[in-house]
């Protein structure tokens, strides 16, 4: 591995992630191999549950697929906890709003797991308008024995019932059921971009372009509006809400990011309506780099609190920033994701790529970050060493336990071996959604209709 590429700079050598010299190897790929991708199969969200044993994906066809991590198997030492399909269900269907003459897509925008409360698992899934609470439960027993029919299902003569039979439970093959438990509808005029479960375990928020609502998980007919940035006159609209999230531990704190590149932190203790933020995170703009695209590329596409709750990470078009909640004036860390695209903004604007919403995630110990890029590349940043790496999710390297080679994009000048030129990047292959196992070095990367799972190399 050490052989790959020179050190330093963008896309530098093999990066030690999470403290030790960590190398990533291919584990699994899910989804069809065809070049022909059906729109409905495109993965639109990826999320691990709190233990990391379950991994949920949502797609543009409104389906949710849940993968379960297999128990590690002594007899097959090399199969380390692979993820296999546990349950698949249709979460949302396409709908039509007759009042507004609008089609409501079935695309799953976000999935959030609830902390586990009993043997069953629960998750929230949302499309543009409606949030649903799903229960995923197992059944391994079946009742047997009827009074009015015999074992083969033939009806018995009702005249000949001489004794009552109480059904007996017999073991059966494990069956996983997904059932809709609650439907939270009719509270959003605009498109829902985020949902986030509160640490009090009884409420969650949902955010659309202009409003944030607070729900009780058990009440579907009522939600409280906690942020409303809709101006009286819509022509005065200058910014929209792009993402929102609850603090992982403080039940009263949440943040929301805006298209202007700012983040507001609100304290629900101070008032019922959180229109007035208690903290405002904004980095002063560098006048020298100002351009026509400045405002577009500064729009924040995702915001995530660190597990510790001390930091938050934001993703804009070209960078990832880490903010200390105690410092509002500038981020404590800034990582360039694909700086080489700065010269290409014009064509990215023309093909609409500049509006792509990349998400970002923390690793379990908050020591490393991951986010996506184009050409099926994704990036990881180690916070302590400040080293970064570009990896590729591709079929070519999808041999079992094959170690992922760091990729490098060359920016002008002479292209070295193993480097790829900016001009040959495929902008249709974008990695928008990634997830990191909360406890282990296992990552899930959604590349169009394929879900790649990578693990760290064990010796």
Partner 1 sequence: MAGAAGPGRVPGAAGGDGDDSLYPIAVLIDELRNEDVQLRLNSIKKLSTIALALGVERTRTELLPFLTDTIYDEDEVLLALAEQLGNFTVLVGGPDFAHCLLPPLESLATVEETVVRDKAVESLRQISQEHTPVALEAHFVPLVKRLASGDWFTSRTSACGLFSVCYPRASSTVKAEIRQHFCSLCSDDTPMVRRAAASKLGEFAKVLELESVKNEIVPLFTNLASDEQDSVRLLAVEACVSIAQLLSQNDLETLVMPTLRQAAEDKSWRVRYMVADKFSELQKAVGPEITQNDLVPAFQNLLKDCEAEVRAAAAHKVKELCENLPVDGRETIIMNHILPFVKELVSDSNQHVKSALASVIMGLSTILGKENTIEHLLPLFLAQLKDECPEVRLNIISNLDCVNEVIGIRQLSQSLLPAIVELAEDAKWRVRLAIIEYMPLLAGQLGVEFFDEKLNSLCMAWLVDHVYAIREAATNNLMKLVEKFGADWAQNTIVPKVLGMANDPNYLHRMTTLFCINALSEACGQEITTKQMLPIVLKMAGDQVANVRFNVAKSLQKIGPILDSSALHVEVKPVLQKLGQDEDMDVKYFAQEAINVLALA
Which of 157, 221, 235, 350 binds partner 1 (CB under 8 A)? It is 157
Which phi and psi (to 5°) does residue 404 adopt?
A: -75, 130
Which is nearer to partner 1, 239 or 267 (by Cβ)? 267
In the complex, what is the shortest distance from the CB of residue 64 to partner 1, in angstroms, rounded to a whole number?
A: 18
Q: Would you count residue 327 as binding partner 1 (CB under 8 A)?
A: no
Q: Would you count residue 276 as binding partner 1 (CB under 8 A)?
A: no
Which is nearer to partner 1, 76 or 141 (by Cβ)? 141
Note whether 50 and 38 are within 8 A (CB): no
Q: Would you count residue 161 as binding partner 1 (CB under 8 A)?
A: yes
Which of left, alpha, beta for 215 (phi over 0: left; psi -120 to 50: alpha)?
beta
Q: Which residue has the tokens 């897509």?
A: 105
Which is nearer to partner 1, 201 or 290 (by Cβ)? 201
Q: Would you count residue 294 as binding partner 1 (CB under 8 A)?
A: no
The secondary structure element, H or E, covering residue 57 is: strand 54-59
Which of 51, 225, 250, 319 binds partner 1 (CB under 8 A)? It is 250
Which segments of 118-157 are extended strands (E)? Answer: 121-126, 131-144
Q: Would you count residue 174 as binding partner 1 (CB under 8 A)?
A: no
Which of 119, 174, 232, 234 binds partner 1 (CB under 8 A)? It is 119
In the complex, what is the shortest distance from the CB of residue 119 to partner 1, in angstroms, rounded to a whole number?
A: 7
Which is nearer to partner 1, 122 or 254 (by Cβ)? 122
With CA atoms as reference, report the closest residue to 224 among 234, 241, 211. 211
Which of 74, 78, 160, 222 binds partner 1 (CB under 8 A)? It is 160
Pair type for strands 24-30 and 450-456: antiparallel
Binding part of the chain for partner 1, among 243-251, 281-289, 376-384, 410-418 by CB under 8 A, reads 243-251
Which of 9, 94, 115, 180 binds partner 1 (CB under 8 A)? It is 115
In the complex, what is the shortest distance from the CB of residue 165 to partner 1, in angstroms, rounded to a whole number?
A: 7
Which phi and psi (to 5°) does residue 301 adopt?
A: -95, -15
Which phi and psi (to 5°) does residue 159 adopt?
A: -75, -20
Q: Report the distance separating Cα 211 and Cα 265, nearest Å.
A: 14
Q: Would you count residue 163 as binding partner 1 (CB under 8 A)?
A: yes
Instruction: Kindly provide the b/e burial profile for residues 202-222, where b requires at least 16 CB atoms within 10 angstroms of the residue's own CB.
Output: ebbbbbbbbbbbbbebeebee
Q: Report the distance separating Cα 139 and Cα 434, nearest Å.
A: 31
With CA atoms as reference, report the closest residue to 110 among 130, 94, 88. 130
Q: Would you count residue 200 as binding partner 1 (CB under 8 A)?
A: yes
Q: Would you count residue 120 as binding partner 1 (CB under 8 A)?
A: yes
Which is nearer to partner 1, 220 or 449 (by Cβ)? 220
Note whether 432 and 444 are within 8 A (CB): no
In the complex, what is the shortest distance from the CB of residue 254 to partner 1, in angstroms, rounded to a whole number?
A: 14
Which of 166, 174, 232, 234 binds partner 1 (CB under 8 A)? It is 166
Which of 73, 186, 270, 385 binds partner 1 (CB under 8 A)? It is 270
Q: Report the distance separating Cα 21 and Cα 36, nearest Å.
A: 38
Question: How many residues in the shown chain lie near partner 1 by CB under 8 A?
Answer: 45
Would you give the distance in Å from CA 324 to the centre of its chain?
22
Binding part of the chain for partner 1, among 51-59, 103-111, 155-163, 303-311 by CB under 8 A, reads 155-163
**19 to 58, contacts with partner 1 by CB under 8 A?**
none
Strand order through the sheet with 442-447 = 24-30, 450-456, 442-447, 433-436
Which of 154, 272, 350, 417 binds partner 1 (CB under 8 A)? It is 272
Q: How crowded is residue 445: how many other Cβ atoms within 10 Å of its Cβ?
A: 24
Which phi and psi (to 5°) does residue 237 adopt?
A: -65, 125
Contacts for 307 with CB less than 8 Å, ≥ 6 apart:
248, 362, 364, 365, 366, 438
Which phi and psi (to 5°) does residue 406 adopt?
A: -60, 145
In the complex, what is the shortest distance from the CB of residue 113 to partner 1, in angstroms, rounded to a whole number?
A: 14
In the complex, what is the shortest distance from the CB of residue 270 to partner 1, in angstroms, rounded to a whole number?
A: 7
Note whether 24 and 404 are within 8 A (CB): yes
Which of 1, 40, 169, 183 binds partner 1 (CB under 8 A)? It is 169
Site string for partner 1, 208-227 (x = CB under 8 A): ----------x---------
Binding part of the chain for partner 1, among 81-89, 139-147, 235-243, 351-359 by CB under 8 A, reads 139-147
Residue numbers at the binding site for partner 1 (CB under 8 A): 115-120, 122, 135, 137, 139, 141, 143, 146-149, 155, 157-169, 177, 199-202, 218, 249-252, 268-272
């Amino acid at each position: 591995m050490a052989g790959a590429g020179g050190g330093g700079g963008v896309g530098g050598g093999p990066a030690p992630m999470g403290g030790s010299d960590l190398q990533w190897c291919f584990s699994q790929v899910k989804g069809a191999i065809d070049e022909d991708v059906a729109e409905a199969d495109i993965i639109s969200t990826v999320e691990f549950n709190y233990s990391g044993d379950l991994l949920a994906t949502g797609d543009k066809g409104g389906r949710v697929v849940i993968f379960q991590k297999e128990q590690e198997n002594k007899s097959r030492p090399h199969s380390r906890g692979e993820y296999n399909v546990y349950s698949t269900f249709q979460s949302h269907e396409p709908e039509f709003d007759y009042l507004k003459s609008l089609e409501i897509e079935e695309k799953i925008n976000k999935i959030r797991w609830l902390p586990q409360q009993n043997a069953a698992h629960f998750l929230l899934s949302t499309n543009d308008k409606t949030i649903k609470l799903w229960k995923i439960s197992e059944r391994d027993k079946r009742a047997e024995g009827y009074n009015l029919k015999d074992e083969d299902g033939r009806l018995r003569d009702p005249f000949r019932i001489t004794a009552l039979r109480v059904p007996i439970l017999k073991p059966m093959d494990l069956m996983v059921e997904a059932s809709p438990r609650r439907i939270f509808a009719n509270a959003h005029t605009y498109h829902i971009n985020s949902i986030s479960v509160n640490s009090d375990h009884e409420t969650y928020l949902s955010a659309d372009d202009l409003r944030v609502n607070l729900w009780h998980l058990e009440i579907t007919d009522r939600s409280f509006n906690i942020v409303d940035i809709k101006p009286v006159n819509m022509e005065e609209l200058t910014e929209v809400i792009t993402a929102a999230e609850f603090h992982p531990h403080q039940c009263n704190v949440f943040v929301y990011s805006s298209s202007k590149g700012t983040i507001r932190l609100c304290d629900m203790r101070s008032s019922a309506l959180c229109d007035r933020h208690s903290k405002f995170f904004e980095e002063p703009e560098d006048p020298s780099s100002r351009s026509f695209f400045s405002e577009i590329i500064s729009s924040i596409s995702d915001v995530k609190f660190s597990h510790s709750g001390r930091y938050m990470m934001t993703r804009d078009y070209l960078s990832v920033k880490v903010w200390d909640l105690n410092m509002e004036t500038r981020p404590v860390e800034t990582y360039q994701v694909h700086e080489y695209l700065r010269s290409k903004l014009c064509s990215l604007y023309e093909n609409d790529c500049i509006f792509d919403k990349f998400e970002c995630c923390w690793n379990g110990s908050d020591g490393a970050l991951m986010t996506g890029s184009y050409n099926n590349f994704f990036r990881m940043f180690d916070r302590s060493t400040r080293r970064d790496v570009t990896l590729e999710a591709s079929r070519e390297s999808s041999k079992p336990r094959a170690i992922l080679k760091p990729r490098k994009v060359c920016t002008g000048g002479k292209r070295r071996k193993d480097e790829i030129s900016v001009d040959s990047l495929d902008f249709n292959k974008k990695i928008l959604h990634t997830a990191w196992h909360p406890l282990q070095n296992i990552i899930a990367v959604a590349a169009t209709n394929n879900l790649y799972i990578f693990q760290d190399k064990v010796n």
